[in-house]
Structure 1
Amino acid sequence: MESADVSAMVADLSEWTERTRREPAVDLAEAANVLCLLSDELEVPDLGELRDGDLETLLLGVYPQVLAEEGEELEDPSTVVPTVHALLDFARDSHRIGEDAHASLSEELDAVEPLFLDALSGEGELDLKEAYGLPDRIGPIRLPPDSQLAAAARQCRTLERVRQLALRFASGADNDAAAMALALGVGEHELAALSALAEELAFLDVGDAGAVIAGPGLQEWPDGSDGEVLAVWRQAFNSTLAWSLLTDAEHAGESDLDFSGAGAWFVPLFLARHRGLPVPAVSEMIEELAGEELPEPRARQAWETWVAAHGDPADALLGRLAELGAVELDGEVVRATPLAAHAIRAELVESGVDVPLLPPVEEMTAADLIELGRDGLDGELEAEANAWFAARGPEAAADELLTVAAAGGPAERIIATRLVREELGAAAEAQWRGALDVPVLRRHAKLALAMLLGPAPEFENTDEDLGWLLVDSIAGSASGVPEEELPALLAAVFQPAGPDVVERLWRLDHPATHEVLTMLGTYHPDKGVAKAARKGAFRAADRATS
């Protein structure tokens, strides 16, 4: 809506509020914001063009999205719905809408109000960052472009069944459950789940006199824009994950097991997206979540009783997710599809976790590749490395990686030098020889050349050099590792013949010496090593200040 049109309508609204002595006073600034959003986001340039569903979309879709994009919060969300109510009353009094439309839209607004307030306050929503203890940034990851993801979503068997169900209802065809289930190729139990999903996605709507009619969601799948199609698929995914097993329990009359948190295993699946998770591990997680509030013997009995009567809930849920195109099953391993990864990434971003997307492989830098080694999800580095090296050729790839390693810290050096050694082998000999003249890479270069060409005096590292490499390795490997995982990591990385080895480390000129000794002294499980490291840390600190 043009600013002049908004100003004119707000002026009319202001005059109306004074004439009708509206109480409480209408927030005219918020009214202007609502009018702009209706026009710009929903293509409703005049209040007279409001239709059922528009206000729900405005408050549950547009408002949260616009606020998230602009990084803003409403000072007082409670003023929005009264403002919209005032606009509806104004539209009725100015003959833009009739009494029936006013009543219908007001009823819709009342139903949406608590959901709107919850959405903006965060109540009732799971904060994934907080729930899983995630850092501010993970990734980056590679996902197909939206056009490819939307094409995959349009092939979704579940959504096609839901669409056919909605069309049959809307056409007035024989809606007997048995006939409907037969036509869709599903059991009557699954038919109930599809019907619930059809209502959730607004593929079905209840019209006047309770008649079931086609809903506005049918316009968005499969023929909507890519963004609309992906939004529909994401809603179906979230609904299946959150409500599928709860619906099963309701139909079975199950009161002991609580499947309300049964979808919590999907974030770990996303974090292990290349390796995947064993199906038995998914089942164990669902069992633990479902019986969380029960004493252990009772929880186990309830689970075994359910499995005997209905089968493993994990099998049912994974089957539905596979039909939806959210998971792929490879024997006893389940992996998230790109569609599901796209949906979970969006949830993580909304909860405050930065999950950047990788650029095309031709545009990736060595720094991008090294970041995958530092912060990337399981298997992401291995999935990208071959294509990245192939796009550059061995010489350019080695030059880029070693340049970043020379300018970076221990983590960058450990990842970059490992990549050059393992991916390029003898093809990087010239680059390794050049690295002999770079102080922070010299010891790594000697080690790599000795592995390539065999022992030689020019490639021999002194005890001091080996100590320096050890500190580099520990500092680089421990970067970003959670505190609770450090004992196991340090035990694996640092296995000296005796405490005397750690005692010599304090003399090194490595900038991370004190940090590494402090870490060993605090977290190494070997008491002798930890004691020697603490003593060395004091000496290193004295040496740094003297």
Structure 2
Amino acid sequence: MSIEWVNRAIDGLRAWGSANSVDVDVDEVRLLCDYASDYLEVNELGDFRPGTFEELLLEIYPRKVIAPPETAPETVAAARTLVEFLVGTGEIATKVAARMRATIDRIGPEMPAALADTSKYGMAKSIFSAIGADSLELGHPLPVQGATAETVRDTATLDEECDCPGCAPLPAVRLAPVAEVVAAAREVPLLRDAHTVTAWLADHGGTTTVRKALRVKDARRITQELGVARPALAWRLALELGLADLAGTAVVKEEAFRVLADRAPEEVLDLWIGTVEFLGEEAREVTGEAAVDNSIYSIHDLLYRVREPVPLDQVADYLREVADGGLVEDLPAALAALSYAGTVRLTPGGLALTEHGQWGLREMYDELGLDAPVAADLAAGDAGALIAGLLQEGLADEAAERDVDRWLDARSPADAAGELLSAVAGAPAQVRGVAVTIVDRLGRDAESSVRGRLGDPELRPHAIHWLSSRGLEAPPLTEAEMLWVTVDMLALAIPAAEADPERFAENMGASGPAPEVIEDLWRVEHPDLVEVLELLGQTLPDETAAKAARKAAFKARSRGIR
């Protein structure tokens, strides 16, 4: 996925929407761009064509996205918005936009039926539709949806009597490459401003108060002349990092002072670690909101553990607790001010750490003597290591996706499919399911390797589905194979169903096998058959189907299957 161009496109879309008073469904448009990039060779906004939308809405979405048919109008509306954005920003010509609108008008009414057509489902969606989209996520980040500060800590297994960082193991994290951290740290506004303020004061004969604070008149001039938003904070950081010395109250630069852009990577990393420690060591007026400023360390620690954007209402709940009930008058503005420090970013989903922020926090934890593990680079291993790593708890989705993308980029589609499927021959259903899900990303170039698995009884049904879903010649699935793959997909759901039986029951009620199919499952030769049938018998909301599952489980046990 070309994340860079998509991010730039979404930033431009937001600005265009704001300027033109257009209500933009950013998440839906991002998904359109992501899938266009992944599957349709769209590498920039100008690559969109009328046919792109037809493939996205009638082929890619039905194969990949778990969404009920009634949500189709939302996606169609997002596609229309994207077209207006493309023509409004000059990415496409007016005539091309007209053809795009006509295409969307024609295919829009067809999308609900396409979403409901199970024959269009890709293998990953077929699995997820039966067992729930969350049950085979590549990672298992801590839940935050609907969570309060208390439940966030409970989920992280923090001691009820203490919420300090040492009371729970820190999760293994994937760190950005050092070169990227250095490049990002050079652009951190607060760190750059610390250098700017130091140089200005030294060059203009500036002096501090007897308490080493920046004088009000100097702060005003620095803001007016240099555009530094928080000169007092930047000056305190400059002193903390040793960028400036004082001769009495007169400001002088450190002996080897250089602007941030001219410093060696090792120096930049040291300064960045110092910046992160500066923010967390004690309460400082960073955002102007006491509840936030007094809790910066706690906010960072929360985001480090959760590792995905935390909705702002949950951040507010968390702050009310850790700040002893302190209220924040304007939380978004306060957190935007905190992003000035470079450690956090505001996303459509809430507050998250920047990658260089996570890197700096991990270094700080390590210096504090805490066990701060780093997740292995799964892209560097073979297929078995990749799959095993994806099945481990604790790897965030975004990092896992990058690992999979880099692993695939290092191989041809045929080689990737061959390695993955070879690695899971004879493996348990959950392991096999991860491999099949990754192979489902690959295009026709992987045909030879997938076709080569038609002789493997466990992989044959998956291979047939893969081939037929791409319009390639494939043998029909026999009735026995269809029943086997039904059990195989349901076996993936067992851990998730045990963790959340109500959600599993809801998903099965919407897309589970019919009672007449369940009645015949007892004949299937699958190691997880009885466990799957017992699960269905306990959780299916349709009593007829549940009874059929219990009866089938009894027959399977009578055959000696355990």
State whether TM-score is above 0.5. yes
1:283 pairs, out of 300, 312, 326, with: 312
1:247 aligns with 2:265: no
Unaligned runs of 5+ residues in structure 1 are 1-122
SS state of the match for residue 482, structure 2? Answer: helix
Question: What aligned pairs does 1:186-197 form with structure 2 within 5 A after superposition?
Answer: 190-197=230-237
Paired residue type of 2:512: P
Taking the aligned partners of 1:324 and 1:259, their CA distance within structure 2 comes to 11
How far residue 418 of structure 1 moved from its aligned partner, in angstroms, is 3.0
* Cα gap change, 1:497 to 1:517, in 2 (>3 Å): closer
Match of 2:99 in 1: none
Match of 1:56 in 2: none
Match of 2:307 in 1: 271
Paired residue type of 2:186: R
Work out which structure has the larger RCO, using CA pairs closer than 8 Å and 6 or more positions apart in sequence: 2
* Cα gap change, 1:240 to 1:474, in 2 (>3 Å): farther
Q: Deviations over 1:364-402 (max 9, x none)?
A: 533355456545422445445555444422322221122
Taking the aligned partners of 1:204 and 1:397, their CA distance within structure 2 comes to 54
* Cα gap change, 1:405 to 1:164, in 2 (>3 Å): same
Question: What aligned pairs does 1:341-380 form with structure 2 within 5 A after superposition?
Answer: 341-344=358-361, 352=371, 354-358=373-377, 363-371=380-388, 373-375=390-392, 376-380=395-399
Match of 1:404 in 2: 423
Paired residue type of 1:492: N
1:338 pairs, out of 328, 350, 355, with: 355
1:488 pairs, out of 503, 512, 522, with: 503
How far residue 403 of structure 1 moved from its aligned partner, in angstroms, is 0.9
SS state of the match for residue 460, structure 1? Answer: coil
Q: Deviations over 1:273-298 (max 9, x none)?
A: xxxx4xxx642122112223799xxx
Taking the aligned partners of 1:168 and 1:243, their CA distance within structure 2 comes to 27
Taking the aligned partners of 1:294 and 1:525, their CA distance within structure 2 comes to 44
Q: Deviations over 1:48-68 (max 9, x none)?
A: xxxxxxxxxxxxxxxxxxxxx
Taking the aligned partners of 1:365 and 1:154, their CA distance within structure 2 comes to 35
Aligned residues of 1:142 and 1:357 also touching (Cα < 8 A)? no
Taking the aligned partners of 1:351 and 1:341, their CA distance within structure 2 comes to 15
Match of 2:4 in 1: none
Q: Deviations over 1:250-274 (max 9, x none)?
A: x677799977744455237x733xx
How many residue pairs were aligned? Answer: 388
Match of 1:320 in 2: 338
Match of 2:411 in 1: 392
Aligned residues of 1:506 and 1:513 also touching (Cα < 8 A)? yes
Q: Deviations over 1:36-84 (max 9, x none)?
A: xxxxxxxxxxxxxxxxxxxxxxxxxxxxxxxxxxxxxxxxxxxxxxxxx
Paired residue type of 1:173: G
How far residue 236 of structure 1 moved from its aligned partner, in angstroms, is 2.0
SS state of the match for residue 178, structure 1? Answer: helix
Taking the aligned partners of 1:124 and 1:203, their CA distance within structure 2 comes to 34
Q: Deviations over 1:161-191 (max 9, x none)?
A: 2234456677862332221342256899933
Match of 2:448 in 1: 430
How far residue 328 of structure 1 moved from its aligned partner, in angstroms, is 5.3
1:445 pairs, out of 440, 463, 478, with: 463
Aligned residues of 2:286 and 2:338 also touching (Cα < 8 A)? no
* Cα gap change, 1:253 to 1:338, in 2 (>3 Å): closer
What TM-score does the superposition give when structure 2 sets the normalisation length? 0.54
Taking the aligned partners of 1:217 and 1:529, their CA distance within structure 2 comes to 77
Paired residue type of 2:396: L
Taking the aligned partners of 1:201 and 1:156, their CA distance within structure 2 comes to 15
* Cα gap change, 1:265 to 1:374, in 2 (>3 Å): same
Match of 2:156 in 1: none
SS state of the match for residue 161, structure 1? Answer: helix
Question: What aligned pairs does 1:412-427 form with structure 2 within 5 A after superposition?
Answer: 412-424=431-443, 426-427=444-445
1:232 aligns with 2:271: yes
SS state of the match for residue 415, structure 1? Answer: helix
- State the superposition RMSD in angstroms: 4.8
Higher helix share: 1
Aligned residues of 1:521 and 1:533 also touching (Cα < 8 A)? yes
Match of 1:143 in 2: 176
Name the % identity: 24
Once the two structures are overlaid, the 10-residue window that deviates more, 513-522 or 342-351, is 342-351
Structure of greater Rg: 1
1:163 pairs, out of 195, 199, 216, with: 195
* Cα gap change, 1:128 to 1:164, in 2 (>3 Å): farther
Unaligned runs of 5+ residues in structure 2 are 1-161, 209-214
How far residue 489 of structure 1 moved from its aligned partner, in angstroms, is 4.5
Aligned residues of 2:501 and 2:539 also touching (Cα < 8 A)? yes
* Cα gap change, 1:356 to 1:292, in 2 (>3 Å): closer
Taking the aligned partners of 1:241 and 1:466, their CA distance within structure 2 comes to 57
Paired residue type of 1:496: G
What TM-score does the superposition give when structure 1 sets the normalisation length? 0.55
Match of 2:207 in 1: 174
How far residue 414 of structure 1 moved from its aligned partner, in angstroms, is 1.9
